Amino acid sequence: MLDTNVLVSALINAFGAPGRVLDLALRGDLIVAYDDRILAEWREVLRREKFGFTPANVNALLEFIEHEGVKVNPPVLNAELPDPDDLPFLETAAAADATLITGNLKHYPPESRRGAEVTGPKTFLEILTGDTS
């Protein structure tokens, strides 16, 4: 489960940890969970002019995620987050039994996670590879 900030960061810098996480998804080594609300947010944010992403590239990425990812219809979680707009990401991660990868850990306080695993891109890669050095 990829938070929007991870997708944006990955597209800005393909060589950073978010870019490497997205590469895993594009290679088929990581399956991305999403729901309609998340797909709509990704579409809206990635098309913002300030990022300069081409519509064709955004469409191709989102079509790939829709085709290769897992669409989830999560139940509503009774979780209080600093930003209620982040709730779909937590709900989807919990319903898919997926790790939510985010650059904004503070948006998902441990006491609000409802059992969902939440981690940053760099930590996710370290856990995945077993390299914690």
Instruction: Tokens for 69, please give them.
Output: 């990812």
Cβ atoms of 24 and 30 closer than 8 Å:
yes
Break the chain into its structural domains and give their ranges.
4-129
How confident is the model at residue 75, as a pLDDT?
A: 94
Does residue 15 surpass a pLDDT of 80? Answer: yes
* pLDDT digit string, tens, across residues 18-52: 999 999 999 999 999 999 999 999 999 999 999 99
Pull the structure tokens for residue 82: 């600093």
Cβ–Cβ < 8 Å for 126, 101: no
pLDDT score, position 70 = 97
Q: What is the pLDDT of residues 89-126, one digit of tens each?
A: 999 999 999 999 999 999 999 999 988 999 999 999 99
Class of domain 4-129: alpha beta
